[in-house]
Chains A and B, each alone.
Chain A
Amino acid sequence: MTTSKKKLVLIGNGMAGVRAVEHLLKLSPDSYDITIFGAEPHPNYNRIMLSSVLAGGADMQEIVINDWNWYKENNITLHVGHKVTKIDTESKKVTSHLGIEVDYDAVIIATGSNPFMLPLPGADKEGVIAFRDIHDCEVMIDASKKYKKAVVIGGGLLGLEAARGLLHLGMEVNVVHIFNYLMERQLDEQAAKMLQRELEAQGMQFLLQKSTSSIKGKRRAAGLVFADGSEVDGDLIVMAVGIKPNIELAKASGIEVNRGIVVDDFMQTSVPGVYAVGECAEHRGIAYGLVAPLYEQGAVLAKHLAGVETAGYAGSVTSTKLKVSGVDVFSAGRFDEAPGTRALKIQDDMAGTYKKIVVQDGKLIGAVLFGDTSDGSELFASIKKGESVAGREKEILLGISSDLLGQSGGGSSRLESMADDEIICGCNGVSKGTIADAIQNKGCNTVGAIKSCTKASASCGGCKPQVEGLLHLYAGDAVGDVKEGICGCTTLSRDEIVAEITRMKLMSTKEVMNVLDWSNPEGCSKCRPALNYYLGMLYPEEYVDENESRITNERYHANIQKDGTFSVVPRIYGGVTSPADLKKIAEVAEKFEVPMVKFTGGQRLDLLGVKKEDLPKIWEELDMPSGHAYGKTLRTVKTCVGNTFCRFGTQDSIGMGIRMEKAFERLNTPAKVKLAVSGCPRNCAEATIKDFGVVAIDGGWELHVAGNGGVKVRATDLLCIVKTEDEVMEWSSAFLQYYRENAQWNERTAQWVERVGLESVKKALENREDRLALMGRIEKTLSLTTDPWKQIVEKDELRKNFEQLSGAQPVQL
C-alpha cells in the first residue's frame, strides 16, 4: 500500500501550510505519505489569537487549530522543534538541524515570515522583542510581572494587538507610530481617528509621527529616543513594524526568491516539485500577510497536488474585516480617495460608526467601515465583481445597512442573494456555502455548533452576526433555543459574563459591553449596575466604580420617593443611639422642616420628604455616617438587648451586632443584606428571617442564613453553631463574601440559596482555610470603602449634582 503513495513534506507547521494539507487530505486522503517539520515546539495554532493568550485567559489549548491527535489520526509524521536546514533539490531530500533526513516527491515551503526588527542602536538590549509567536507572549507575560511600562513600536494591526495584550497584563502602554494615524494600511484617517479615540478610552496612549532613533538603557532597555530629541520610558520594547517573508531556506537551496519565494499560479517555485504557500510566498509580485489569501493559496495547492482540476490562483483582492480591541473595522479595495475617485461618507459619532465608499467610473472600488461592519461582505463582493453602481451610490451608502439607520429588514435577503463561495469568516476562510451545508446537512442549529463544525466565527468573531443571519435563513424554526441573557442587551448569563471578565481582565462596563457584543452599546438599567457590581467585586482595588452605572438611590445616597423627594437614614450601629445623637437628629429635622420622622423596621430613624438640594446640607449638619438604607449593601444589624439588661439574655447580642455592623458597613453586595443578632432563642431581633441571623444559645451562637421577611417570607436555614464571637465574624465574613462572589446581581440570599442549594454553600464554607481566604477578600474590599456622605459634603464636584443649575441668562439674538 504505502509503496504506491507519494511522499509529501511540509516545511513549516503553521496556519497556511497545515491548511493546505488539511485540504489535500479531504480531496485525496490516500495519495501521500505526509511529514511535517515545525520549528516551534507546538502543534499548529492560530497566530491571530496570540493576543488572547496575552490577555491571560486563553491558554495554548484554546488557540490550537490541529491538536497532536489530528496528526496521529491522519498518519502524519510530525517533527516539532526541528528547523529544516537544507532542501537538496537534486536528490529530493530535506534535512533538519537535528539531522533527520526525509525524501520527498513534493515539498511545500510554508516557513511564513519573520518579524521585521528595526536595526536601531540598542536593539540588542534585554527587553526588546517582537510579537510573533508563543515565546514572545511568554516574555511579555513575564515582563508584566516585574515592570510597569511598555512601549510598542508600530501602530498597525499587530502593534495594536500587542498593546492591547500588554494593557490586559496591567502594563502602561505607549504605542509609537511613524504615521500621523493608526493602521494606515487598513483604514483611512477618519476611521483611524475614531479607533484611536476608542483605544485611548481603554487606556492606550499614542505617540504619533514619531521616528525612533535609538533604544536607551544599560543592559536592559529603558525607553526610546526619537529623532526629534524627545523620549519615552519603557522597560519592555515590542517591535511590531511589519513582517518579512522567511526565504532563507529557499534561497540557500537555490530556489528563485525576490521579496518572497517566487511562485506561479499553482504555487510552484522555480524548481519542479517544490511549492511555497503562505506569507513566505510571492505571487505576481505580492506577498500576502492576511489569512484569507493564504487559505485561498492553500486550497489551490491542495487541488493541484491531489490532481483535481483548478484554474489556479489569480491573486486576492483583499479585504480586511477585523475586531480591534472589541471594535469592528472593515476595509477593502482602494479607499484612499486618489485623484479621479469620488468618496461618499457617513459618520455617526453617537453610535460610533463610520462608512465610506469610493467610486471610480461608476464602479465601487473601495470601502471603509468602522463600528458596524455588517455591509462588509456585500461591498466587497461588489468591488470584486466590478459591477456598475452608477446612480445607486447613495443607496449603497445609506440603504444597504439596516443597522446604520435603524431600519429593519434587508439583512436576510442580502445573505440570501450572496453567492455560495463568498467568504463569511475571513479569519478561517469559511464560505457561505460551507456554513449553509453545516446547517442544512450536518444538523448545526446554534452558532456554537456552526463554530465547532466549520470554524466560522471562531477567531475574531467579527462575522458572528452574519453566521446568525444564515442560521435563521436556513434553519428557520429549527434554531436552537436562544438563551436568555441577564437583560435584553446580551444572551450571556451572569456566570458566563463573570468568567469572560476574568478571562480577558476586562476593566470597565464599556469594555465588557464592547468585547462581549452587547446589542445596546451603552447597555440598559439592568445590565449596567450589574456589570458595575461584578467588576467591583472581582477587582476591588483596580476597578473604579462608575457612579453613572449605579441605580438612582445609590447615586444620590438616599431613597428617592414617589414625589421626587428623598429620605435620610443615618447609621445607628446595632440600633443603639445616644441622647446627643437624638438631639442632633431632632435639630436637623426642625431646621430643614423635614415633613416626617419615622422609626424604620431596622431600628433606625428615617427623615422623609427631604428635597434633593438639602441632602448634602443635612448630611453635613448631622455629621453621622450614611446608614446605607438605599443600596444593595449591608442595611442594618438589628439587635435585641441581650445579657446587657435582659434577664433571659445568654450573650452580648448588642456588642456582637455592633461589631458586625462596624465590620460590614458600606459593603457592596448583589442585593440588600439585612442582619440581626438575638441574645437568646426567644429571638426578639427576628434573626430567623434575615440574610444572616445570629441567635445566642447558652455557651455559643447559632448561625442562620438566607431568610427573608419581604415579598416571599422565608425562614432561615441553620448553617452551623459556633462558640466564640470571633467565629461568628469568621463565618459571617465567609458567607457574605461567598454570596458576593457567586450570586446574580439583585438576587437576595434567600433566592440564591434556593437556587444553588444550602449544601453547596455549606460545602464551600466547611474548610477553615477556605473561610479564611474568603474573609481575607471581604476585609480587603471593606478596607477600601469610605463614607459616601462625607465624600459628597467635602467635594464640590460631587455636590453640584444635588443642586439646580444656577440660572439662565438670555442671549441676544
Chain B
Amino acid sequence: MTTKLLVANLSDIDVKGSRRIIVKDIEIAVFRLSDDSVLAVENRCPHKGGSLSEGMVCGTAVHCPLHDWKIDLRSGRVHEPDDGCVTTFETEIDRASGSIYLTI
C-alpha cells in the first residue's frame, strides 16, 4: 500500500542540496534541484552503499561522495560507464506553502 507523507518544506533543503529521512525503515534522500524541483531516491549508492544525500548535485544527477558514481535522480539509473539503479520515490510540492510530499 502506498502512503503519501508530508516530509519537509522547500526551505528545509538548500538549493542543490539534500536532506535525509527514514520512512518505513528506508533511508531516503530528498534533493532540491537548481530549478526548485524536488526529487527523492533511496539514500544508498548501488556501488558501495554511499550516502547520496552527501553528494554533489549537478543538473538532475548526483555524484556519490565515495567513488563519484553519477546517478540520475529522475530515473534512478547510474550513468555510464558504471551500471546500476536506485529506487526513486514520487514527490509533490505545494508551491504556495512549499510543502513537500513523498509517496511511498
Contacts and interface: CB of A to CB of B under 8 A. Distances in A.
A520 B20 contact: no
Contacts of B50: 564
A26 interface: no
A671 interface: no
Interface stretch (A356-364, A548-556, A579-587): A548-556
Interface residues of A, number: 34
A556 to B, nearest CB: 7
Given A522-B59, A528-B58, A805 B30 contact: yes
B60 A813 contact: no
A523 B65 contact: no
Contacts of B57: 522, 548
Contacts of B85: none
A811 B58 contact: no
A518 to B, nearest CB: 10
Nearest to A523: B58
B23 A552 contact: no
Interface string A393-428: 000000000000000000000000000000000000
A811 B19 CA distance: 20
B12 A811 contact: no
A548 B4 contact: no
A810 B37 contact: no
A194 B72 CA distance: 25
A711 interface: no
Given A804-B20, A805-B21, A805-B30, A552 B65 contact: yes
Interface in B56-77: 56-60, 63, 65-66, 68, 70
A552 B55 contact: yes
Most chain B beta-carbon neighbours within 10 Å: one of A349, A521, A525, A808: A808
Contact of A552 (B49, B56, B60): B56
A720 interface: no
A553 B70 CA distance: 17
A363 to B, nearest CB: 35
Interface string A779-813: 00000000000000000000011011101111101
A553 B50 CA distance: 13
A193 to B, nearest CB: 14
Contacts of A552: 54-56, 65
A562 interface: yes
Report, as a range, how many residues of chain B touch the other chain.
35 or more
Interface in A227-279: none
B14 A801 contact: yes
A548 B16 contact: yes
A753 interface: no
A773 interface: no
A805 B6 contact: no
B53 to A, nearest CB: 9
Contact of A350 (B4, B37, B101, B102): B37
Contact of B51 (A349, A523, A564): A564
Contact of A524 (B48, B60, B70): B70
B66 A808 contact: no
Contacts of B101: 811
A560 interface: yes
Contacts of A808: 5-7, 21, 23, 102
B48 A562 contact: yes
Given A548-B14, A811-B6, A520 B59 contact: yes
Contact of B56 (A525, A800, A801): A525
A724 to B, nearest CB: 44
Given A528-B58, A564-B50, A801-B14, A350 B6 contact: no
17 contacts: A349-B37, A350-B59, A350-B60, A524-B63, A525-B56, A525-B63, A525-B68, A548-B14, A548-B56, A551-B56, A551-B65, A552-B65, A562-B66, A804-B22, A805-B19, A810-B4, A811-B6
Given A525-B70, A805-B8, 5 more contacts: A525-B55, A525-B68, A548-B15, A556-B54, A804-B19
Interface of B: 3-8, 12, 14-17, 19-23, 30, 33-35, 37, 48-51, 54-60, 63, 65-66, 68, 70, 101-102
